[in-house]
Structures are given as C-alpha cells and as structure tokens.
Amino acid sequence: MRTATEARKSRHLDICLEDDVASTLDAGFAGVRLRHEAVPECALDDVDTSTLFLGKRLAAPVVISSMTGGTERARAINFNLAVAAERAGVALGLGSQRAALEDVRLLATYRVREVAPRVVLFANIGAVQLNYGVSTDDAQRVVDGIGADGLYLHFNPLQEALQPNGETNFRALLPKIGRLCRELSVPVIAKSVGSGISVRSAARLIEAGVTAIDVAGAGGTSWARVEGRRAGDSTREELAETFAGWGYPTAEATAALRRAFGDLPLIASGGVRSGVDVAKALALGANLAGIGLPFLEPATRSAEAVSERLDLVLSGLRIALFASGCRRLDDLPGALYVRGSEQIATVESRI
C-alpha cells in the first residue's frame, strides 16, 4: 500500500507532465544579452566547458535539477537521468528523499549508483523537516544511502502553505541548519523551490554554514500552481493561482547573489531552458545552471532520449561561448551586453 507521500510524489509527476504549471513570471533570460563577436579569434574546438564545483570535476556547468523519487515510477526516471548525466559529465540532483525516510523500501527509487557510479550526485531533504523530527543522523543516512556527493536542503514555505496539512513551522531553523552543516560529511547546498532566495536569506544561510546556494528562482515550474492542481479543490486552486507570479526571477536573483557574495558557489535554476540560457546564467555570475522540466518527459522514455535533449543544451552552450568570443566559462561575465542587462542590474539591487 502506498504512503501518502508516495501518492503525492506520483501525482506531482502527472501534473508536471500533463498540465501548464509554469510560473507567470519570466525567468528573465530574455532580458540578458551576450555580445556577438563576428571575429571570435578562436575555433569552436577551442571552447572548454569543463569546470570544478565543490571540488568535483564536471565536463559542463550543468546540473539536472531535483525532480522526483519516492514513488516506484520515479525509479526508472531517475535511472535514465543518471545514465545521461554520467555520459555527459554533468551533475544530478535527486528529488526530496522524505519518502525514503518514511519507508526505507522507497530508497531504491533514488539509488542510481548502480547505473551511474561516477556521476556527481546530490541528495535532497526539506529544511522544514528538521522541525518535524528529521535529525542530522537521518540526513547522513540519506546521503550514505545513495552515495551522494552533497546534500540539497530545500526551502519551500509557499508550497507547504498551499499543501493540505503542509509543514509550515519554519521557526528557529537556523541553529538546526548550522548543526547539520557542521556534522554532515558532505557539503550542504541551500535551494529554493521555484521562488528564489534573497540576499538577506542567503546571508543568514551562509552564516549558518551552507556551502553553496541554488537560487531556484521564479520562471520555471511554479510549485504553488502544482499544489493548486493537486488539491482537487477549486477554492484552493484559486488561492494557489494568486501566487503563480510569486518570487524573484532567476536572472535577477542570480545577479543579486553574485554581487553580494563574490566567492559563493552559486547555481542558477528556474526557467533555464537552453544552452544559451546556461551561458547567460553564467555570465550573470552562476557557477552552474540547473535544468529540470525539459528532461522529465524524455526521462519517462529512455536514457537515450534524455541524452539527446542534454546534447542539444550542451551544444547550444558551446556555440554561445564561441559566438561571443569566449574560450572558457570564466570569460562569460565579460561578454554581457550591457544595454540588454542594465534593467536586471537595477532590479537586482532590491532583492
């Protein structure tokens, strides 16, 4: 018999695959322009997309963002994502592992090391669960159970508030987060869930000890809208729709955090849909870009389908570097076309 969490995870998959639950805010990448160099002074073969993130070598600055787990159908999806990620040399974040803490049998839906022994892999738990009985030891078991290289600690107050019986006690979390960061054997990455992270929140999380931040801004999937659709209640869905445009657009949040924290390991996710978007995210200051929804439907079919989609993204990234005269990822911030990005530079100062 399925647990309530397992049923919820399965319904989330259906909604994301079948319904339009995108944020009504634009991620902001259309307002970012990279220069075009008619004389790039390099060959396409000269472009190097490799990078180091948290001490791990990646062939390209991409992480397949956390999507699923905790329901049997997620096992094949995660396997296909992992195989494609390892082939391409990019990282993979798994979905929330709360289900595996509730039912150890569901840990198998997250265990991808058997098909991707070398992939850079991030485990995932909800920060608020630290107020609902999840301990540092539990988090360590989650990491060890899948052989993860890091832990995503996700923050989803809006989603929890719109869930029936959601976990909404976010009081006094920072001391618990601090303990987790001190005692866990791997780095902790704080991650929003489609609404972004402000400079103020980031400062508090960094002080608590998190190693990196994934802005997970507005512009991609709106988990407020997902919960509205899942509720099966027209009144609750109407309430959720009022939050369809909530949060900080990804491009603005990325620029704001990079300006405030020069050396912070930073991931930009939320509405990243192409290799050009990846290049723009890195130009704004991200170290990696996270992409989720575009890989979900291919992952229901095969690892090869995911690889085809991923190859399209990575090819676009290489060409964007080449066409802007950049041989390396570190060159991208200098390729911002100022007139196209000045609006973001103005808005991000308020985040």
pLDDT of amino acid 201: 98
Beta bridge partner(s), residue 190: 153, 213
In whole angstroms, what is the distance from residue 81 CA to residue 68 CA?
11
Q: Where are the domains of the chain?
A: 4-350
Give the residue with greater pLDDT, 14 vs 75. 75
In whole angstroms, what is the distance from residue 279 CA to residue 290 CA?
12
Q: Which helix (H) or strand (E) holds 41?
A: none
pLDDT one-digit tens code per residue, 169-205: 999 999 999 999 999 999 999 999 999 999 999 999 9
pLDDT one-digit tens code per residue, 18-63: 778 889 999 999 999 999 999 999 999 999 999 999 999 999 999 9
Give the pTM. Answer: 0.94
pLDDT higher than threshold 90 for residue 348:
no
Proportion of the chain above pLDDT 90, given as a percent = 83
Task: Specify the pairing of strand 51-53 against strand 56-58.
Answer: antiparallel
pLDDT higher than threshold 80 for residue 341:
no
For residue 128, what are the contacts with CB-CB under 8 A and spacing of at least 6? 155, 156, 157, 160, 167, 168, 169, 170, 173
pLDDT one-digit tens code per residue, 130-142: 999 999 999 999 9
- Cα→Cα distances 245→15, 24, 219, 225, Å: 18, 5, 8, 10
Tally the C-alpha atoms within 13 A of residue 85's C-alpha that lie toward its C-beta: 33
At the fourth CATH level, the homologous superfamily of domain 4-350 is Aldolase class I (3.20.20.70)
For residue 281, what are the contacts with CB-CB under 8 A and spacing of at least 6? 29, 250, 251, 254, 268, 272, 289
Beta bridge partner(s), residue 155: 192
